[in-house]
């Protein structure tokens, strides 16, 4: 009962965030290893294997302890976060369904490009064992998390990132110039699969106190939601983005009432284009290791706030938090602090 009351109080904060009526920024604390796969004890025996992993290597029941531990830590130390459990977010789910082999490294699982792939050939799901495993996770979370945490969307790479995963990023860039019509067809095919996948994901996921979670970014929404990313855009010119990606990102933003795109500073040239997409509710920006500082990003962040909700994620210091909370508008601002340390490293901001 106590935990339910805590969750309900946080849900009210999330409602205010989406309405931009919060009078102080929402602050959340996300704990664990920077490499998300290392946060799960359930995959310790799979990381670093000398063979590619298969869908049946992942036993969903072995994840229960990890989910429950993350939930309890979120209740105790997560501040404004509302924890959601995702199908294991360390996997390249989309790429694996399209036929990429999944290679276990020391800290993560990566997709290997499909050798001999043809840009002129239709892209479709070829390995249903991965989608079946994904939905098995959803069913398991629904059963065991009911009333405590919802099932939600993990990291699912967008059409450009998936296409780069299938062919390799360099090959994809050449394709934009040499076979532009093929590239557009392939991107739209992946978009179809992505949106159908999210649709089934939401149909199978139970609503949580009348709403749904963004998932990997545990932000509760009063309606159905999705978030998407295309990190490959950091390698593109504005002209290539406009030709190949803008309409796709508009389509994704239009799909549900609550939509959010994930960006790194390398893709900041997209900001004004994204601000013009009326149906896009929020922009999520990472503070990257080795990237621009908070003070350097501040003008861009203020520009985002002129039209959109802003979600920030990174290993922010105390000084970063002070600068963000003093330099940005509180309304529609959510700061997610990633840290391997306990919450007392940072002071709560009310």
Query: What are the CA-CA distances from residue 91 to residues 26, 77, 221, 262, 281 (Å)?
Result: 29, 26, 25, 18, 27
- pLDDT digits 0-9 by tens, 133-176: 999 999 999 999 988 999 999 999 999 999 999 999 888 999 99
Can you give the length of the chain in residues? Answer: 350
Query: Residue 320 above 90 pLDDT?
Result: yes
Query: Residue 344 above 70 pLDDT?
Result: no
- Please tell me the pTM assigned to this model: 0.94
Query: Residue 336 above 50 pLDDT?
Result: yes
60 confidence band (pLDDT: 50, 70, 90): very high
Q: Percentage of the chain surpassing pLDDT 90?
A: 86
Dist CA 138 CA 328 (whole Å): 37
CATH of 2-345, one of 3.40.50.410, 3.40.47.10, 3.40.50.2020, 3.20.20.210: 3.20.20.210
Domain ranges of the chain: 2-345
Dist CA 150 CA 86 (whole Å): 8
- pLDDT digits 0-9 by tens, 202-217: 999 999 999 999 999 9
């Amino acid at each position: 009962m106590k935990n339910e009351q805590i969750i309900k109080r946080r849900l009210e904060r999330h409602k205010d965030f989406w309405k931009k009526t919060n009078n102080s920024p929402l602050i959340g604390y996300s704990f664990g290893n920077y490499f998300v796969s290392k946060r799960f004890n359930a995959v310790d025996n799979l990381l670093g294997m000398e063979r590619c992993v298969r869908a049946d290597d992942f036993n969903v029941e072995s994840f229960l302890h990890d989910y429950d531990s993350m939930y309890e830590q979120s209740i105790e130390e997560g501040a404004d976060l509302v924890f959601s459990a995702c199908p294991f977010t360390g996997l390249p789910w989309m790429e694996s369904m399209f036929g990429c082999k999944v290679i276990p490294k020391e800290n993560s699982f990566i997709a290997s490009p499909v050798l001999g792939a043809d840009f002129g050939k239709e892209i479709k799901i070829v390995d249903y064992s991965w989608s079946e495993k994904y939905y098995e996770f959803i069913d398991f979370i629904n059963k065991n998390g009911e009333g405590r945490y919802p099932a939600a969307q993990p990291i699912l790479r967008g059409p450009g990132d998936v296409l780069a995963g299938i062919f390799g990023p360099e090959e994809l860039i050449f394709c934009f110039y040499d076979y532009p019509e093929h590239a557009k067809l392939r991107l739209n095919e992946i978009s179809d699969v992505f949106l159908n996948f999210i649709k089934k994901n939401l149909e199978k996921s139970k609503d949580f106190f009348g709403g749904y979670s963004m998932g990997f970014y545990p932000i509760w929404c009063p309606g159905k939601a999705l978030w998407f990313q295309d990190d490959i855009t950091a390698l593109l010119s504005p002209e290539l983005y406009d030709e190949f990606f803008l309409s796709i990102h508009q389509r994704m933003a239009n799909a549900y009432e609550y939509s959010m795109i994930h960006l790194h500073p390398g893709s900041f040239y997209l900001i004004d284009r994204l601000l013009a997409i009326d149906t896009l509710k929020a922009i999520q920006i990472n503070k990257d290791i080795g990237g621009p500082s908070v003070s350097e990003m501040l003008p861009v962040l203020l520009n985002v706030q002129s039209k959109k909700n802003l979600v920030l994620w990174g290993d922010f210091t105390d000084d970063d938090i002070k600068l963000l909370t003093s330099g940005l508008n509180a309304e529609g601002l959510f700061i997610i602090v990633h840290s391997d340390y306990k919450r007392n490293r940072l002071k709560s901001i009310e």
